Amino acid sequence: RILYGGRISLFIGLIGILISFPLGMIIGGVAGYFGGFIDNILMRLVEVLMTIPGIYLLVALAAVLPSSLSSAQRFLLIVLITSFIGWSGLARVVRGQVLTLKEQEFVQSAKAIGASSFYIIIKHILPQTATYIIISATLSIPSFIVAESVLSLIGLGIQQPDPSWGNLLSLASNASILVLQPWLIFPPAILIILTVLSFNLLGDGLRDALDPKTLNKS
């Protein structure tokens, strides 16, 4: 059950960044490149999303879901909800990088030969932000895993008999099991901790490996 539950918890993290990161990249790229009215509208939307506490939004939305939903449907909804609130921070950082990149000579050259704005954003500007995006993606996966675990722990996520690390950990809410059968609690808790730590270490390693300052020193 721990191995099968790991598939669900890890898939939520991986699918979550596959949905949220392209959205954040495109919105941040468009806002930074065009500026003006478009930038103001998109950044106000980003700021509104960033002011919403993620876990409270997840709990509120999950609580109103019909109890008749299957685990697969709940899985998809959790992914969509976490992805919806997970792209705003990336969009803001990408916008800041695009504001600098759009004044570079290679962008001006692309404009001079008649390349469209969308082509310049996708082909020339966003690839220049790849280093930050790769690092940010690895550091964001743990947040999706923890969000699923918290929702399942409080009974709003993946439901039994389908396993996930969160609902396996929900046994900890029973004091007698926590005291008399702690071996039921420790394996999923340790795996969540190790997985979150692993992705954080991977992100730190990629940041050190891809940091231009580090490469120049070597």
Q: What is the pLDDT of residues 98-124, one digit of tens each?
A: 888 888 888 888 888 888 888 888 888
Among residues of the chain, what percentage have pLDDT more than 90? 0
The b-or-e profile of 2-30 (16+ CB within 10 A means b, else e) is eeebbebbbbbbebbbebbbebbbbbbbb
Q: Is the pLDDT of residue 193 over 80?
A: yes
Q: What is the mean pLDDT of the chain?
A: 78
Average pLDDT over residues 48-54: 77
Average pLDDT over residues 203-214: 69
**What single-letter DSSP state applies at residue 125?**
I
With a CB cutoff of 8 Å and minimum separation 6, the contacts of 204 are none
Q: Provide the pLDDT for residue 114.
A: 85
Total-model pTM: 0.72
Average pLDDT over residues 69-75: 70
Element (H, E) at 123: none
What angle, 0 to 180 degrees and rounded to 10, lies between the N-to-C axes of helices 2-34 and 36-51? 150
Q: Is the pLDDT of residue 216 over 60?
A: no
pLDDT-derived band at 205 (thresholds 50, 70, 90) equals confident
Round to whole Å and give the CA distance between 122 and 32. 13
Q: Provide the pLDDT for residue 215.
A: 47
Location of structure tokens 């790849």 = 130
Which of 144, 190, 150 lies closest to 170, judged by CA? 150
Average pLDDT over residues 163-168: 78
- pLDDT tens string 132-161: 787 777 777 787 777 777 777 766 677 777
Instruction: Provide the 10 A C-beta neighbour count for residue 203.
Output: 19
Asked whether 5 and 164 are in contact (CB, 8 A), the reply is yes
Location of structure tokens 């690390």 = 165
Take residue 201 and report the two structure tokens written for it.
């270490």
- pLDDT tens string 75-90: 777 777 777 777 888 8
